[in-house]
Amino acid sequence: MGKYVVGLGEALWDKLPTGKKLGGAPANFAYHARVFNLEGIAVSAVGGDDLGRELKAELDAHDLPYLLETVEQPTGTVEVTVDAAGVPQYEIKTGVAWDFIPYTGKLASLAADCRAVCFGSLAQRSEVSRSTIRRFLDAVPGDCLKVFDINLRQQFYTKEILEDSFRRCDILKINDEEMVTVAHRFAIPGFGTEAQCGYLMREFGIKMIILTLGANGSGIYYDGGISFLKAPDVKVVDTVGAGDSFTGAFIGSLLNGKSVPQAHETAVAVSTYICTCEGAMNPIPDNLK
């Protein structure tokens, strides 16, 4: 079994109304996996600019190891606005460093010692990073857990990218709005999320689906059945990174030997707590781990 739990893809600055915060779903995932005493590591690319240097310093401050190649393009940024319900809207800049993640010898060595990897659709919008992600997934050990956090953003995905990622992953993380899009794109027959999840698992060989439903709770679909939990009622500050914390806590708990229902309970507790904080990377109280 490999050692590292890798978040592979975008690493960037979320420019929030109150200032910039470190962001990017894969880095958030790696951070929360590390909360569970796993060897989390963020993999991406940054520019040789002040924002890139600040990003590395911020990861250091959060005690999150990283493999960040420096490339010619500028470090990625996202303009984030938050509505009255605390739900973020994103304007994601293009032609940035994480679109050009190179496949290096260091990355190949990391793949060979990978225990779990989380990747999404966003970093696959460019040919360079898409190729790197696919090469990494092809190079991991057979028992490595491959998690596809679909993370649909703006127009930055295609049916081909989604289908290829479905076939490569063991676990799919998706929210209710994304499921509507996927059901339409793939003409999934039947109604209801249970039928839709069942179709995706059968059609693409996916072993487990994590479906988050916002305030309506979350469901885990797997060979043992369905685990469903309601969402606790809390005062939401913002939901930035909540889904990433759910995925990181769930996978971290699974890798630590917890059952699916136990890991689900932990993921709900951690992601609920993140909703009461600003930004994605916050210390997690010991009683929630």
128-139: per-residue pLDDT in tens?
999 999 999 999
**Total number of domains constituting the chain:** 1
Confidence at 279, pLDDT banded by 50, 70, 90: low
pLDDT for 42 equals 97
Q: At what angle do helices 176-185 and 193-204 cross, to 10 degrees?
A: 60
pLDDT for 191 equals 77
Cα–Cα distances in angstroms (integers) from residue 152 to residues 110, 125, 158, in the given order: 26, 11, 10
Confidence at 82, pLDDT banded by 50, 70, 90: confident
pLDDT for 289 equals 74
CATH number of the domain at 19, please. 3.40.1190.20
Q: At what angle do helices 176-185 and 159-168 cross, to 10 degrees?
A: 110
Torsion of CA 171, 225, 265, 21, to 10 degrees: 30
Give the residue from 24, 221, 2 showing the smallest Cα distance to 119. Answer: 24
pLDDT for 88 equals 73
146-175: per-residue pLDDT in tens?
999 999 988 999 999 999 999 999 999 999
Confidence at 103, pLDDT banded by 50, 70, 90: very high
pLDDT for 272 equals 84
- Geometric angle at alpha carbon 97, from 92 and 101, rounded to 5°: 115
Cα(31)–Cα(37) distance, rounded to whole angstroms?
A: 10
**68, 55 Cβ separation under 8 angstroms:** yes
Share of residues in the chain with pLDDT > 90 (%): 72
Residue showing tokens 């360079």: 128
pLDDT for 238 equals 65
pLDDT for 79 equals 86
209-265: per-residue pLDDT in tens?
999 998 889 999 999 899 999 987 878 776 677 889 999 999 999 999 999 999 999
Element (H, E) at 115: strand 114-119
**66, 46 Cβ separation under 8 angstroms:** no
**99, 249 Cβ separation under 8 angstroms:** no
> Mean pLDDT across the chain, nearest whole number?
92
Q: Helical H runs in the chain?
A: 25-35, 50-61, 105-112, 127-139, 159-168, 176-185, 193-204, 242-255, 260-275
Sheet strand arrangement including 225-229: 66-71, 39-47, 4-8, 114-119, 145-149, 171-175, 208-212, 218-222, 225-229
Share of residues in the chain with pLDDT > 70 (%): 97
| Per-residue pLDDT at 124 exceeds 80 | yes
Name residues whose C-beta falls within 8 Å of residue 289's C-beta, 6 or more positions apart in sequence.
35, 36, 266, 270
Least confident window among 60-64, 205-209, 278-282 = 278-282
| Per-residue pLDDT at 275 exceeds 80 | no
pTM of the model: 0.92
Range of the domain at 234: 4-288
Name the more confident of 212 and 288. 212
Q: Which residues pair with 222 in a beta bridge?
A: 225
Residue 27, classed as helix, strand or coil, is helix
